């Protein structure tokens, strides 16, 4: 794999903040604005209207049930949240795009798919980072099974989303079940991909 062929966009990387002083403050300001933006208002409206509706149909009793359930959930989530977010941050700081490109360079076969799935699962960043990685690997001529296994590994098992969302909201026991159920499936998808005769070369790219 030629490193020069890999383009990697990760707009959310806090590592970029040292290039321009003051950017970090700006980004935190943006985060706060976004954290209390339209989707916050949506959730607030949803919480209020569902609370009102719960009171309307169930009275005091329903309110108490919902609040104690919500309280339990928050109690169990909050202490884990910090750890989950730190795990996401540390793995992100440890894994570089060069590392993943090096792992995947010229791999094929089942072994290649296993490595691709794992690489996809630990690739930090959101969809932009993952799909630009796939685009770069595709241009570099990677095996289609490897590409599909990487995409499935990222979307099904991507650690960053799991740490930021699945652990906080659904808990680690659920995560363990889902992980165990899905761990072989990106390989299955990669094997299917090799049988499907879709020509991946874009005529524009060749010309």
* Chain residues 138-197 in contact with another protein, contact rule CB under 8 A: 138, 144, 147-148, 151-152, 155-156, 161, 164-170, 172-178, 180-182, 185-186, 188-190, 192-193, 196
For residue 103, give the nearest of 118, 86, 84 by alpha carbon.
Answer: 118
Q: How many residues bind another protein (CB under 8 A)?
A: 95
Binding string, 100-139, against another protein, x = CB under 8 A?
A: ---------------------------xx--xx-xx--x-
Residue 105 vs 189, nearer CB to another protein = 189
Residue 3 vs 172, nearer CB to another protein = 172
> Which residue stretch of 8-16, 102-110, 115-123 sits at the interface with another protein (rule: CB under 8 A)?
8-16
DSSP 65-99: HHHHHHHHHHHHHHHHHHHHHHHHHHHHHH--HHH
98 part of the interface to another protein, by CB under 8 A: no
The count of other CB atoms within 10 Å of the CB of residue 16 is: 13
Provide the 8-state DSSP code for 147.
Answer: H
What is the token pair recorded at 136? 């770069």
87 part of the interface to another protein, by CB under 8 A: yes
Distance CA 163, CA 175 (A): 10
99 part of the interface to another protein, by CB under 8 A: no
Shortest distance (Å) from residue 111 CB to another protein:
18
Provide the 8-state DSSP code for 126.
Answer: -
85 part of the interface to another protein, by CB under 8 A: yes
Residue 70 vs 109, nearer CB to another protein = 70
Shortest distance (Å) from residue 176 CB to another protein:
7
Question: 178-183 — which CB contacts under 8 Å span 24+ positions?
Answer: 182/156, 182/157, 183/157
39-78 positions binding another protein, by CB under 8 A:
39-40, 43-44, 46-47, 50-51, 53-54, 57-58, 62, 65-67, 69-70, 73-74, 77
**Segment holding 26, helix H or strand E:** helix 23-35
Distance CA 76, CA 168 (A): 9
Q: How many CA atoms lie within 13 A of 205 on its CB side?
A: 10
């Amino acid at each position: 794999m030629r490193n020069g062929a890999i383009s990697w966009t990760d707009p959310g990387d806090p590592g970029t903040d040292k290039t321009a002083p003051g950017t970090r403050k700006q980004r935190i300001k943006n985060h706060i604005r976004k954290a209390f933006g339209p989707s916050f208002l949506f959730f607030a409206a949803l919480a209020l209207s569902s609370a009102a509706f719960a009171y309307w149909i169930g009275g005091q009793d329903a309110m108490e049930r919902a609040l104690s359930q919500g309280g339990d959930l928050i109690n169990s989530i909050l202490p884990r949240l910090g750890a989950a977010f730190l795990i996401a941050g540390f793995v992100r700081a440890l894994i570089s795009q060069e590392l993943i490109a090096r792992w995947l360079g010229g791999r094929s076969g089942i072994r290649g798919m296993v490595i691709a799935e794992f690489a996809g699962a630990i690739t930090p960043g959101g969809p932009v980072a993952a799909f630009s990685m796939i685009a770069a690997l595709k241009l570099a001529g990677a095996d289609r099974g490897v590409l599909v296994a990487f995409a499935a590994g990222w979307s099904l098992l991507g650690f960053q989303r799991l740490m930021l969302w699945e652990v906080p909201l659904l808990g680690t026991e659920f995560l363990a079940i889902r992980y165990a159920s899905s761990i072989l499936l990106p390989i299955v998808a990669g094997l299917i991909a090799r049988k499907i005769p879709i020509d991946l070369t874009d005529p524009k790219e060749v010309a």
